[in-house]
């Protein structure tokens, strides 16, 4: 009788352990696939790299085609200089605003219709480098202070969202607003707006 009881107790311990091992071994295998960075991927419906790139391209193309640019160039006989200020994320989700600003800066620079100057944080690092050159660099290679190109305009903006959801269907509405402000007069010389609307459907699983 005693050996039988010992056998039953051993089975009660061993069987659950084996079950856990088998379940652990049957977990999903992770698969990583490299894809073209230009490929459009939209798994969650949230703001992504494609949205950032397309919005920046569209808005900068519109900006350099508006009358403010020709008016400035005619008055001063040169292209304007622009700096990007604060872009606020007023949406209901986390958005990497820094990536969007980089996209804006790239499109502005590549357009060759405006000059883009370094941001405040970048300027501080460059000024520190000039100070160190004044002490440590050979005199004929030192870069002089007071030669920076001042910006004529500052770009500011916001990213906002409206979310509507019902019965597994969610609508996400993004609105990006950008202002181009004359730094001398505070006049808003250009106002741009871009809208994106996404519909995300979640299929119900039937058992």
Strand partners, 184: none
Residue pair 60/111 in contact (Cβ under 8 Å)? The answer is: yes
Q: Which tokens is 109 given?
A: 């620079």
* 188-201 β-sheet, strand order: 115-116, 81-89, 153-166, 169-182, 188-201
Secondary structure (3-state) at 79: coil
Strand partners, 188: 181
pLDDT (tens digit per residue) in 105-161: 999 999 999 999 988 888 899 999 999 999 999 999 999 999 999 999 999 999 999
The answer, yes or no, to whether residue 24 has pLDDT greater than 60, is: no
Residue pair 171/199 in contact (Cβ under 8 Å)? The answer is: yes
Distance CA 90, CA 159 (A): 6
Q: 32 φ, ψ to 5°?
A: -115, 125
Q: Which tokens is 33 given?
A: 């696939």
The answer, yes or no, to whether residue 16 has pLDDT greater than 60, is: no
pLDDT (tens digit per residue) in 34-87: 555 555 565 567 888 899 999 999 999 999 999 999 999 999 999 999 999 999
Distance CA 40, CA 44 (A): 12
What mean pLDDT is predicted for residues 2-13? 50
CA 73, 75, 80, 82 torsion: positive or negative?
negative
Residue 5 pLDDT grade (very low, low, confident, very high; cuts 50, 70, 90): very low
Distance CA 97, CA 180 (A): 18
Residue pair 28/145 in contact (Cβ under 8 Å)? The answer is: no
Secondary structure (3-state) at 201: strand
Instruction: Identify the pLDDT of residue 194.
Output: 95
Instruction: Identify the pLDDT of residue 2.
Output: 47
């Amino acid at each position: 009788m005693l050996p039988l009881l010992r056998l039953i107790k051993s089975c009660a311990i061993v069987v659950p352990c084996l079950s856990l091992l088998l379940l652990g071994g049957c977990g999903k295998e992770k698969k990583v696939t490299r894809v073209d960075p230009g490929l459009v991927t939209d798994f969650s419906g949230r703001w992504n790299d494609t949205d950032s790139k397309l919005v920046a391209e569209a808005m900068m193309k519109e900006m350099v085609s508006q009358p403010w640019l020709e008016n400035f160039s005619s008055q001063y006989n040169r292209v304007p200089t622009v700096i990007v200020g604060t872009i606020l994320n007023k949406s209901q989700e986390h958005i990497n605003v820094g990536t969007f600003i980089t996209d804006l800066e790239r499109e502005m620079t590549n357009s060759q219709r405006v000059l883009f100057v370094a941001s405040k944080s970048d300027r501080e690092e460059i000024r520190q480098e000039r100070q160190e050159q004044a002490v440590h660099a050979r005199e004929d290679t030192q870069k002089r202070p007071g030669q920076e190109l001042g910006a004529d305009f500052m770009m500011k903006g916001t990213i906002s969202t409206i979310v509507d959801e019902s019965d597994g269907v969610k609508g996400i509405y993004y609105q990006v607003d950008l202002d181009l402000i004359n730094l001398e007069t505070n006049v808003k010389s250009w106002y741009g707006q871009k809208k994106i609307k996404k519909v995300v459907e979640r299929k119900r699983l039937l058992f």
